[in-house]
Structure 1
């Protein structure tokens, strides 16, 4: 039932028609055993900040907890998750397999770089703004055999509701078309 609470919180905080919001709450209450617990503040590691402009979703607390667990709270932030000097395209698959079977200090360095990047991105998140429409818009793209190793394509899509990003995905195709 937490997903119902998340959806209701988004509608309540991003909607501007109080009669429709009350109608939605009543319809959900009639269909499900729910009670109004007020504004959602934290769900699945995501913090939800409420304002008059809408919602701001971030993972500040989750990242802080991760940095504390790895004893990296005092580390220097990095601007990018990985070094731009390395060509990762042909190495990524081999890197993943090698890391799973025999991790070493090189791999640890990469993990630490990612944690330093996360520390530098604590204030980033997703803004869900109040808009006067709920138009659904979707975009998709494919790179057509963009992987230089196996010539497979990567397909991507994203969906916006009321101008707010609500879904996104990037998937490597399993076969060459």
Structure 2
């Protein structure tokens, strides 16, 4: 083994030490990705996806060079290590790896144009924030136009630092929006427990319940209600799982509304 000194670059990840923590980024990797896509002279865009875009497997015509599609998407998947705001967009285009179409490839190009405009972005881990965990949970309902499955999304902050996140399609379609939200709440609570145990092993036990922000008041009422509702009997496992940890004061549900 060799002592290579202070970490600055490793497998495409760049580490910059700052007075208030450090910054994790992939500037060189992103620049190479833009060059590979031959977009050095192209314009950047302000969002990874167009508003309300919905893709299906049959959009457009079959793409003539699927290998190029695979390579660019694989590069984007790795780039989500530090560019978290493209996670959902990459989740969408990754579903068409088996049979990419021209419309899907156009979305890949848009994401890379967004990457071009955010080359210097990264994840900042602060050394000055409190070690208090908080979580945010959200989902769509039947957002996929092809199989009508919903997408789970959550993220966790330790103080001001983002440490865990996910954007993943649920395994089965759901009949009710409440069911979708509650399954997402169950996944978020499961990740919360893992982080609680990890932080405790690292000597950073949480002093109180972790605030979990969600935008659905129905699931919050179910989590606090002893009466099990007829319309939610098919999500009984998630119900008891979340309710138990609410009762144990590990999770504290907080409603978060929309603002203009």
Fold match by TM threshold 0.5: yes
1:80 aligns with 2:47: yes
- Runs of 4+ in structure 1 displaced over 6 angstroms? none
Question: 1:61: which partner in 2?
Answer: 28
Distance 1:98 1:48, change over 3 A: same
Pick one of 162, 167, 171 that aligns with 2:168.
171
Q: Aligned pair 1:94/2:58, yes or no?
A: yes
Partner of 1:94, secondary structure, is coil
Q: Normalised by the size of structure 1, how large is the TM-score?
A: 0.62
Q: CA deviation at 1:127?
A: 1.3
- Distance in 2 (CA, whole Å) between partners of 1:50 and 1:151 is 45
Match for residue 125 of structure 2?
128
Structure 1 residues 136 and 101, CA gap change in structure 2 (3 angstroms): closer
Distance 2:34 2:138 in 1: 35
Unaligned runs of 5+ in 2: 64-97, 175-260
What 5-or-longer segments of structure 1 have no aligned partner?
1-33
Q: Distance in 2 between matches of 1:170 and 1:96?
A: 25
Deviations along 1:116-155, whole A, 9 cap, x unmatched?
Answer: 2211111222111112532233332333445455443322
Distance 1:131 1:76 in 2: 37
Q: Which has the higher helix share?
A: 2
Taking a change above 3 Å as real, the CA distance of residues 35 and 166 of structure 1, as seen in their structure-2 partners, is farther
Give the structure, 1 or 2, with the largest relative contact order (CA under 8 Å, sep 6 or more): 1
Name the SS for the 2:134 alignment partner. Answer: strand
Counterpart Cα distance in 1 of 2:166 and 2:134: 15
- SS of match in other structure, 1:56: strand
TM-score (norm 2): 0.45
Residue of structure 1 in register with 2:37 after alignment:
70
Decide whether the 8 Å contact of 2:129 with 2:160 is kept in 1. no
Q: State the aligned residue count.
A: 140
